[in-house]
Amino acid sequence: MELLIVRHGESVANAEGRMQGQEDYPLSDLGQRQAAVLGRFLRSREFRFDACYTSPLTRARATALALTSALGLPEAELEPALSELHAGSLQGLTRAEIDAQFPSFLRRGLSGLGDFAEYGGESYDDVQLRVQALVERWHHRHLVDAHRVLAVAHGGVNFQLLKALVCDPVPRVMSVNFGNCSATLVRVRERRGVYLGELVFHLPVDLLGAASGEGLVGVF
């Protein structure tokens, strides 16, 4: 099975520097252009998919629709497990607002990132259980050499998903930048009795000719 993991294009909240979590925001104009550029790239390389999944959140669904439309595919199936990490009380806040209201968040170490339990959101362990259960379902549905799957989601959940696919055991800390509309191809196959992913490429959208938007606002 090959899995192409895509982060949604820039959202309005990304442009404003807000922590989104599971709050629902639309794509910005730049995000729509990013999705169109990635769609044209996949079409030009004749990518074909046997299944397409998307987070139910608007920014991911709009990105997925741009990609499936460019490829002449049916709309992606909604997959709740691809929803972004729930960030509790931090959702909807800018960096400055988080620093003022929840200063401990911006001062925590690397090993604390991805755990929002302290703020009423999802814990790290809960998120890993969620993505590992999704990987297990995909193994049963699509673990065929010729199957290629498209999954459109979010920076936080994509980070946790990639770790679950390519690492055994899964580390708490790994450094990969999931910029808006980045595309990450993972090939999953059996290796010594374990189904493990190999990272084939991790492609930022600015290499395809679209502005990334990264660096314009603070990244959480």
Active-site amino acid positions: 8, 84
Contact (CB, 8 A) for 55 and 35? no
**Coil/strand/helix, residue 189:** strand
- Among 14, 63, 28, smallest CA distance to 183 is for 63
Distance CA 31, CA 174 (A): 26
Which letter, b or e, does each residue of 101-137 get, where b requires 16 or more Cβ atoms within 10 Å of its Cβ?
Answer: ebeebeeeeeeeebbbeebebbebeebbebbbebbee
Give the separation between CA 143 and CA 194, rounded to whole angstroms.
12
Cβ 183 vs Cβ 2: under 8 Å: no
Residue 19: burial class (beta carbons within 10 Å; 0-12, 13-18, 19+): buried
Compute the half-sphere exposure of residue 215: CA atoms within 13 Å on the CB side of its CA: 3
Q: Are 149 and 187 in contact (CB under 8 A)?
A: no
